[in-house]
Structure 1
């Protein structure tokens, strides 16, 4: 009796992973998950509602079943619970915009062999400037990723019962943390520091949520803009550390420590890997994105964050799961 040999199925799925990106992105472009949620359950019904060819609708449905986002039962299709929560347009947690955005990024991976050889980007990055028009697309597209983490952080901090706290959100992007935290605590106020074209997007979101009267913005670069001294109860640094060097992160953490009132808390949210770099999976894979786009960034270990925060003057550091990210809370 011979040992059972592995099949190539898993390897082929990975080699052809761009098929999944294409299927999910195309389905999001045509709002297929939204139409499924609204009751369309066959290729013909989806084709009519989405204004696409029946053959195209069937092809996307086949692909979505294949990647596990759509289920087929008694001849009708429906979203899985995962797709229902994260890919239906209009839901606060919807990542459909991000799925559409990733279609445009697929070609960039062709440069990865050269980037690996060089140890960093092989061409000058042009996205990280204040007046890049791509912010209007990318900032809202990635906002939903922070909704679960914002809720977990609010629970850990006891934010709902914290009273009239002052919040500083550094590089706050869409303003989604401020929107969720101000909704949870009617006495809280939040200040976002970011480039002005991005602050415009955040002010729009807070206005749509009826929270604009407790939300202010400061236009500037967080590397150089003064955070103040002992002004805030909570500071937030979400999905920024991965693009910064260890030295830059320590410098920002030190300035944030000074900006906090005694007993204040710094919340860091990012893709964090285990100390032995054995997991979690998505943060490990995300390291390739940083190699492509960041000269000195990376997916940093828990021990890195702990060491940086202690050097910055914090005395207690705790880690909280917020899949696929990790919350790091320091006081």
Structure 2
């Protein structure tokens, strides 16, 4: 047997990939990363603080070391830099709620073989409706994903120094873009268009950041609600395009173009794949999520976004990679 022969190790890790979701979700549920950050560096200390068994704490620590989220040195455990930034509760980009949420989604993957055959969802769960109570859990959980990207977009556009600008966020969810941008620019105002129950959550979350007095919501379905004409300096279309089909994306982008004032900028953020669909890894694998849950959505290519934006009337289109799996697109 030579070193060049294939081994089953990588495939075995993939087959058992649900272990990673389970370990991370369980660790987040019991605040292990937060306790580690506070100095609980052994299994017995973690068990005591988290209120779990020492055997359970040790098992989670072993799994987290395997996943590269926890380091072990001289018998002491500590968060890696990534875990410290993204999994300690209360930090701006904390993804622990999202990890716990995904733990509840694991069972849905058993439908994927049939979904692949059918070409779309096989269960009518009525997820994409305004009054679904799951928004109360989902909207805050996914907000942290957009924190670093929203800051990068603000820096690229120089929003902090832009003065009295007006922002429109279509399908803004938690209002995280508005919250961050209003925090950077005390003269800016933002309007979010989304379903009423989601806007209620956004109003509370934005107010908690101290900028609620400059944040307004319009309740409605963005497919049909008027965006206005020449009304905004910046518009946001973040993580919406992947759930829409090509025709709907063109229609929405065209209306966003009309809503922008001359010289205004559209900020689009999503999981964008290369034109030959060779990468990046996360957007490619995210396509299965859309197949499971969306009748028309997908992970779209750079060429798709460029074509849609051009058809919508934008002329200056640029793509910017970020440290996250998402790509920023700026269009004027």
Q: Is residue 70 of structure 2 the alignment partner of residue 70 of structure 1?
A: yes
Name the residue aligned to 1:152.
Answer: 152
Q: 2:135, 2:295 → 1: CA distance?
A: 20
Q: 1:196, 1:90 → 2: CA distance?
A: 26
Q: Is residue 329 of structure 2 the alignment partner of residue 328 of structure 1?
A: yes
Q: 1:226, 1:191 → 2: CA distance?
A: 13
Q: 1:201, 1:121 → 2: CA distance?
A: 27
The CA RMSD over aligned residues, in Å, is 0.9
Relative to the length of structure 2, the TM-score reads 0.99
Name the residue aligned to 1:118.
Answer: 118
Q: 2:3, 2:286 → 1: CA distance?
A: 35
Gaps of 5+ in 1: none
Alignment of 1:249-288 (within 5 A): 249-288=249-288
Q: 2:102, 2:209 → 1: CA distance?
A: 27
Deviation at 1:3, TM superposition (A): 6.3
Q: 1:94, 1:141 → 2: CA distance?
A: 9
Q: 2:14, 2:94 → 1: CA distance?
A: 25
Q: 1:225, 1:200 → 2: CA distance?
A: 18
Alignment of 1:128-167 (within 5 A): 128-167=128-167
Deviation at 1:4, TM superposition (A): 2.4
Q: Which segment is superposed worse, 205-214 or 50-59?
A: 205-214
SS of residue in 2 equivalent to 1:314: coil
Q: 2:59, 2:3 → 1: CA distance?
A: 37
Q: 2:2, 2:264 → 1: CA distance?
A: 63
SS of residue in 1 equivalent to 2:222: coil
Q: 1:183, 1:324 → 2: CA distance?
A: 24
Q: 2:207, 2:162 → 1: CA distance?
A: 23
Name the residue aligned to 1:290.
Answer: 290
Deviation at 1:2, TM superposition (A): 5.2
Deviation at 1:206, TM superposition (A): 1.4
Q: Is residue 217 of structure 2 the alignment partner of residue 217 of structure 1?
A: yes
Q: 2:62, 2:116 → 1: CA distance?
A: 35
Q: 1:213, 1:119 → 2: CA distance?
A: 45
Name the residue aligned to 1:197.
Answer: 197
Deviation at 1:145, TM superposition (A): 0.2
Name the residue aligned to 1:169.
Answer: 169
Flag as ranges the 4+ runs of structure 1 deviating above 2 A: 1-4
Name the residue aligned to 1:42.
Answer: 42
Q: 2:122, 2:129 → 1: CA distance?
A: 18
Q: 1:64, 1:88 → 2: CA distance?
A: 14
SS of residue in 2 equivalent to 1:253: helix
Name the residue aligned to 2:245.
Answer: 245
Deviation at 1:269, TM superposition (A): 0.4
Aligned residue pairs total 331
Q: Which segment is superposed worse, 3-12 or 59-68?
A: 3-12
Deviation at 1:307, TM superposition (A): 0.3
Q: Is residue 20 of structure 2 the alignment partner of residue 17 of structure 1?
A: no
